[in-house]
Each structure stands twice: as structure tokens, then as C-alpha cells.
Amino acid sequence: MANSVSVNTNSKDLWGGGVEPYKASYGKLMMWFFLISDAFTFSAFLISYGVIRFKHPGYEGTLSDFSFSQTYWPVPEKVFEAFPFFHGVELPLVFVGLMTFILILSSVTMVLAVEAGHRMDRQGVEKWMIWTIIGGLTFLGCQAWEWSHFIHGTDAGSRLLDGSIIYGANLELNQYGPPDFAAFFFFITGFHGFHVFSGVALNFLIFYQATVGILERRGHYEMVEKVGLYWHFVDLVWVFVFTFFYLV
Amino acid sequence: MIEPEVSTIKPQPADKNKIWKIWWVAIILGVVTAAEFFVALQFPESWKDFKIFLFIGMTFIKAGYIVMEFMHLGHEQKSLMWTILLPTAFVVWLLGALFIQADAIYLAIYG
């Protein structure tokens, strides 16, 4: 949005102020620096998941003989195989795949909102922002269902070493495998889910500001771009969570 | 309370090529995700390491498209791009350091 700001390009005055470093506005630059620090946080989460997983023995046998046990790390596609309204049907990773598609699509609608903003197309921004918000809320709803299923567990549950049977998961014990497995599930998908939630809140704020004409009076839609960066980052993190938590 | 007002600004027409390019990236992301599924569920279990290699490769393809196209980093100044990309080298270092550590812990317990 450099067209709304006069940029001083005389190299003698570079240190005199009024020059945008990297030709990016202050807000966008700061959003990028925030995102890189957020990326470090998520990297630390995922890498420590890898470390703790490496620390536990892996499952050795074939997938068809797999059963939950406290003595080895579970195979993710055996844990996440439930789908709403298909009780008892094994659909490995289908639900989490659907969630991935929903988040990618809401990222696409966000790009379209940014594009509409560049053209000062207020109706376009409104339309695509509302789709982005719907996508985000759908993802959150899916995640709520997945958490609920994970916490309540399967019908059979799983036998602990002392002979008792546990159903589902909490922060101390879970039917799927070592306690750390559920702890990491809650922390990684929970931290990501909170990012999605705050993303939806920011998207709604921008949608509101576009709708009542605040952004139009300001003369540019750069706020859509800044919040868009955050929203794409949330999608980016999910791409990594999907691979390293659910697929590998 | 701010009253909604009727817009007086006429939006510029959309550039069809630009819109088509956005959907093109979306299709690539969708196809790569579908391919990840195919690898996860159809490739034999014994190809475990190869599957992990494919998953990581496809993840970085997706990440590249999201960061470079959707987040527009590929079209910013090169110096801004590297300012964002180079610090991620620290992540690679952390990965190496902690995985060596994890291996040692595993050996100390089960080795």
C-alpha cells in the first residue's frame, strides 16, 4: 500500500526517517517478526514431541495387529480413525484430512479478501472475509469434536499394567499409549487451536471494520493484509502439525 | 455507534489472471494433501522411512507455496525474504541437537 504513503527515496536522507525498510510498512514488518517468533514456539513444541517420541520404544509389529499399550508409542493413524456419525467404522485420518482441507480453503478465501482489498472492493472484502470466518469456525468445531472423542475414548478402552481399564485420555493417563502422548496432543493441537480462535476473532474485527466503512475511509485495506499474514501462518503451522503429529 | 454508509468508491475491476493464479495454488495444495493421504494409506508399511521422507518433502512443498504465494514473501524485497527465512536455521540446529540427545536418552534407558 505504498501508494498512500509518500516514500523518500533520496539515498542521502535514508537515515532521516520517513523511509520504509524493505519497502514494507511498519505493521506488516512487525507482523512478520511476530510470526517468526511464533514459528520458533511451534518448532520447539514439535521438536520436543519428536524427542519424547524417540525416547519411547516404537511399535514393532504389523498395523493390523496393533493394540493400544502403555509400553510403546501408538501409531497415530490407529488413534485418529473416528468420524462423526460413523461410530465404530475405522476411517484412519479421514477426519483430520477434512480439517486440513477446510483450513487450506479458508486460507484461499483470505487471499481473495486481500486481493479485493487491493482493488478497494469493499463488497469483495466483506464476502471473502465472511467465508474465511466460516472456515475458521468450522475448523474449530471439528477440533472440538476431535478433542471430545479423544478425551472420552473408544468403547473398548485399554488395559493398564495394574489390570484396570482406562477409557479416553487426560493429562496423566490415556488409553492410547504413554502419558506423554496425550499431553502432547493437548498442548500442540490446543496451542494451535487457540491461534485459530484468535485468528477468527481478528478476522471478525476486520470484517466489522470493512463492513461499517472504517477501512474505506482510511483509504486502504492494509489491515486485511496484516491479519491475512497471521491467518496464513495458522494454516502453515497446521500443515506441519498434520505431518509430524498425524502422518509420521 | 458507527452507522453503515453507502460506499462512494468504485472498486477497480478484478484481474482474472491473478484470481486464477490464487486458485491454481489452492489446487496444488489440495493435490499435495491428497497425495499425502495416498502415501499414508496405500503404500506398504515396510516402506516406513521412504514414506516419512515423502511426507516431509510434501510438507515443505506446501509450506513453500503458503509462505511464498499466499503470504506474498516471494514477491517482497529479497532482503526481507532472507530476514524471515534465515533465522529458521536455528530450528534446524535445535532439531539436530535434541534428536542426538533423544537417541542418547533412549540408549541409556533401553540400550
Q: Is residue B9 part of a domain?
A: no
**Residue A40, Cβ neighbours under 10 Å: how many?**
15
Q: Is residue B109 part of a domain?
A: yes
Confidence of residue A88 (pLDDT cuts 50, 70, 90): confident
Distances (CA, A) of B36 to A188, A248, B4, B103: 21, 11, 46, 27
Please check whether residues B27 and B63 belong to one and the same domain: yes
CA distance A144 to chain B (A): 22
Q: Is residue B53 part of a domain?
A: yes
Q: What is the pLDDT at residue A70?
A: 87
DSSP, residue by residue, A78-132: HHS---TT-TT---TTHHHHHHHHHHHHHHHHHHHHHHHHHTT-HHHHHHHHHHH
Q: Which residues of B touch A23 (CB under 8 A)?
A: 76-77, 80
CA dist A240 and A88 (Å) reads: 28
- pLDDT digit string (tens) for A29-71? 999 999 999 999 999 999 999 999 988 888 888 888 888 988 8
Q: Is the pLDDT of residue A17 over 90?
A: no
Helices (H) and strands (E) in chain A, counts: 7, 2
Q: What is the pLDDT at residue B4?
A: 56
Range of the domain at B93: 77-111
CA dist B46 and B28 (Å) reads: 28
Q: What is the pLDDT at residue B6?
A: 62
Please check whether residues B66 and B88 belong to one and the same domain: no
Which of B52, B90, B105 faces A248 most closely, judged by CB atoms? B52
Domains and CATH numbers, chain A: 22-57+67-247 (1.20.120.80)
Alpha helices per DSSP H over A158-221: 179-211, 214-218
Q: Is the pLDDT of residue A218 over 80?
A: yes
Q: What percent of chain A has pLDDT over 70?
A: 95
Closest CA in chain B for residue A114? B70
Q: Is residue B3 part of a domain?
A: no
CA dist A121 and B12 (Å) reads: 7
DSSP, residue by residue, A64-83: GG----SSSPPPHHHHS---
Please check whether residues B101 and B61 belong to one and the same domain: no
- pLDDT digit string (tens) for A224-237? 999 999 999 999 99
Q: What is the pLDDT at residue A2?
A: 46
Q: Is the pLDDT of residue A8 over 60?
A: no
Please check whether residues B61 and B22 belong to one and the same domain: yes
Per-residue DSSP letter, A25: -
Please check whether residues B65 and B83 belong to one and the same domain: no
Please check whether residues B43 and B92 belong to one and the same domain: no
Q: Is B44 on the interface with A (CB under 8 A)?
A: no
Closest CA in chain B for residue A63? B45
DSSP, residue by residue, chain B: -PPP----PPPPPP-HHHHHHHHHHHHHHHHHHHHHHHHHHHS-GGGHHHHHHHHHHHHHHHHHHIIIIIS-GGGS-HHHHHHHHGGGHHHHHHHHHHHHHHHHHHHHHH-
CA dist B9 and A242 (Å) reads: 42
Q: Is the pLDDT of residue A108 over 90?
A: yes
Please check whether residues B40 and B70 belong to one and the same domain: yes
Which of A47, A120, A212 faces B2 most closely, judged by CB atoms? A212
Please check whether residues B87 and B65 belong to one and the same domain: no
Contact B12 A119 (CB under 8 A): yes
Q: Is the pLDDT of residue A11 over 80?
A: no
Q: Is residue B5 part of a domain?
A: no
Q: What phi, psi does A159 have (nearest 5°)?
A: -85, 130
CB contact at 8 A, B74 and B96: no
Distance of CA A145 to the CA centre of its chain: 16
Q: Is residue B86 part of a domain?
A: yes
Per-residue DSSP letter, A58: P
Please check whether residues B20 and B67 belong to one and the same domain: yes
Please check whether residues B70 and B81 belong to one and the same domain: no
Q: Is the pLDDT of residue A13 over 90?
A: no
Which of B4, B18, B33 faces A212 most closely, judged by CB atoms? B4
Total domains in chain B come to 2
- pLDDT digit string (tens) for A137-184? 999 999 999 999 999 988 888 888 788 888 999 988 899 999 999 999
Please check whether residues B91 and B63 belong to one and the same domain: no
Q: Is the pLDDT of residue A82 over 90?
A: no
Per-residue pLDDT of chain B (111 residues; tens, 9 = 90+): 665 556 677 888 888 899 999 999 999 999 999 999 999 988 988 888 999 999 999 999 999 999 999 999 999 999 999 999 999 999 999 999 999 999 899 999 987
Q: Is B93 on the interface with A (CB under 8 A)?
A: no
Confidence of residue A1 (pLDDT cuts 50, 70, 90): very low
**Sequence-separated (6 or more) residues with CB below 8 Å from residue A243:** B36, B55, B56, B58, B59
Q: Is residue B22 part of a domain?
A: yes
Which of B25, B30, B45 faces A63 most closely, judged by CB atoms? B45
Residue type (1 letter), B8: T
Please check whether residues B66 and B81 belong to one and the same domain: no
Q: Is residue B6 part of a domain?
A: no
CA dist B42 and B54 (Å) reads: 13
Contact A40 B90 (CB under 8 A): yes
What ipTM score was computed for the predicted complex, to two decimals? 0.89
Q: Which residues pair with A174 in a beta bridge?
A: A169
Closest CA in chain B for residue A234? B66
Q: Which residues of B touch A35 (CB under 8 A)?
A: 84
